[in-house]
Structure 1
């Protein structure tokens, strides 16, 4: 059964001694596409080096950039910094063509933490989590839903997913949280 959840309210969705699942507050999100020659100028304009390796993350303050492909990044920042990002990219567009698209309303983020966080992720994600280094992220699937999985700590993950699939994924995570609590 799909859960009916207010995705506008951050907070704990499920919690046990094994794991906690929480919906994080909204953030500004951008999809950035650029060819290799433009990457250096974009890094300078944004004040953060665009990571070159797929899965690598760059961070400066509250802004994070993940490399999702050879010419594709997602930028995540506090909502009040969205204007700074769009202005920085717009200022160099004439000499540095690129595509910057705001996707803030498309996705939500669920944080999964606790001693059984990895176990909970594996109920829907086929990826070997031991191969995902702390501080990196990967595009993957969770029960057939395309997601981006961030590993922030040994048992600390973020799962970015499209808003339309969130109720399904959250329902699975809530059920899994309950099952892990019973072990």
Structure 2
């Protein structure tokens, strides 16, 4: 679950500017596929609410669950919760068909914050970032790279990106941040 070589260790471009970016601490990450009719049972195993509306996320008890498809959820939890989550979903197999895949080794998180965060992201994402509501979640593309984008607050976004593309996305965001810093 935990990568010993995190591609963003030691990087931090935050401060008083209009946009800041920082790596998000490692955590447990899972992809859950389950029929919507079995959502209550899956939520019980997850230990927190699972949203039913595509494009939304729910956060509770340090856990985030984003509904990114008709039967697909992207789950984020503290690293120490990973084994308990796997065990709870293993027990769920007895009563419902589902798939829980540990993707903690594959993904890393990047926070994009500040009063110009939406505009900064909009410069490299085709979807209307500004129209995304707080609590919104979507799978989208940033410069040809697939990401999961969560809008945690009016001025704060979370990007979940594959480990192998994290460096590319980081440098892209750093360049965009620099343009905002310079007022370009």
TM-score when normalising by structure 1: 0.91
Q: Between Structure 1 and Structure 2, how many residues are aligned?
A: 179
The residue correspondences of 1:15-164 to structure 2 (distance < 5 A) are 17-164=17-164
Cα distance change of structure 1 residues 8 and 110 upon mapping to structure 2, 3 Å threshold:
closer
Equivalent-residue separation in structure 1 for 2:6 and 2:52 (angstroms): 36
- Structure 1 unaligned spans of 5+: none
CA RMSD of aligned residues (A): 1.8
Cα distance change of structure 1 residues 14 and 59 upon mapping to structure 2, 3 Å threshold:
closer
Residues 5-55 of structure 1: CA deviation (Å, up to 9, x unaligned):
952526414656221110111110001011233222111222323211111
Equivalent-residue separation in structure 1 for 2:176 and 2:170 (angstroms): 10
- Structure 2 unaligned spans of 5+: none
Q: Structure 1 segments of 4 or more deviating over 3 A?
A: 13-16
Residues 126-150 of structure 1: CA deviation (Å, up to 9, x unaligned):
1112321112211111011111111
TM-score when normalising by structure 2: 0.90
Residues 50-73 of structure 1: CA deviation (Å, up to 9, x unaligned):
211111112221011010111100
